[in-house]
Amino acid sequence: MARGEAPPPAAREGGDPLSRRLLSLYRALLAAYGPQGWWPADSPFEVMVGAILTQAAAWQNVERAIGQLKEAGALSPQAILALPEGELARLVRPAGYFNAKARKLKALCALIVERFGGDLSAMLAHDPQELRRLLLATYGIGPETADSILLYAAGQPYFVVDAYTLRLFRRLGLGPRGDRYQEWQDFFTAHLPRDAALYNEFHALVVRHSKAVCRQRPRCLDCPVLQMCPTGQGAVSSWPVTAGA
């Protein structure tokens, strides 16, 4: 799991035009923002908890919720299972949807304890395809959360697709036409080297860029990849030119 200690992964040139475009985008974002050092956590289990708590939540609120779990000595699968659900919901309240997220955390911890005997290392070393199936069969874990756990906690090469990914790549004119998660993930897997470190850094950079520049109302003039973006170029060319500009 990348935490910022290692240099960013090299973007090796692919053999097809889409691969070259994706890797050019990666290098441009890396040059603009630098390595992101994701996932911001002290342990793989904290990554897993964060992957659930960040559903429909701002990260600063997730950090507050995790901080409260730490203060209560409840940041382990066994401790979470031992807590009454109402108390767990109180601790994760800053992350929103706290009753549902308390149930989701308990379901994840039940998987760790009941299927893997509470041995997190054994879980993360499990066959990744089977682990993904087990995660997706767990209450409250969908493809994005499962792949965040696989990539950031287990170090497996699963490209995470989220709302930021869809927004950016649609504006770039890249990717499938539809909304199906698996189609989008297959697109990245087909055109990028299967490299967990690359997927880690690329996804983190996509999120950083989408929050800073490629917002719902994009700041196209500030965009470090404007020359790659037909949507941005079209928007900029349609703006009126002011006198003296």
Q: Parse the chain into domains and list their residue ranges.
A: 44-153
Q: For the residues of 25-77, what is the DSSP string, one character each?
A: HHHHHHHHH-----S--SSHHHHHHHHHHTTTS-HHHHHHHHHHHHHTT--SH
Nearest to 200 by CA among 169, 231, 134, 154: 154
pLDDT at position 191 is: 97
From residue 188, give the alpha-carbon distance in Å to each of 108, 130, 166: 27, 21, 12
Task: Convert the pLDDT of each residue in 38-74 to its tens digit.
Answer: 998 999 999 999 999 999 999 999 999 999 999 999 9
Averaged confidence pLDDT in the chain: 93
Record: fold of 44-153: Endonuclease III; domain 1 (1.10.340)
Q: Is the pLDDT of residue 141 over 90?
A: yes
77, amino acid identity:
P
Tokens of 227: 């020359």
Q: Please tell me whether the overall predicted TM-score, pTM, comes out greater than 0.85 for this model.
A: yes
Q: Is 16 exposed, middle or buried (0-12, 13-18, 19+ CB in 10 A)?
A: exposed
Number of C-alpha atoms within 13 angstroms, CB side, residue 123?
24
> Would you put residue 56 in left (φ > 0), alpha (ψ -120 to 50) or beta?
left
Average pLDDT over residues 7-24: 78
Task: Convert the pLDDT of each residue in 198-232 to its tens digit.
Answer: 999 999 999 999 999 999 999 999 999 999 999 99
Q: Is the pLDDT of residue 241 over 60?
A: no
Nearest to 4 by CA among 38, 28, 27: 38
Query: How many CB atoms sit inside 10 A of residue 230's CB?
Result: 10
Q: Which residues contact 130 (CB under 8 A, 6 or more apart)?
A: none
Angle of the 181-191 helix axis to the 163-171 helix axis, nearest 10: 60
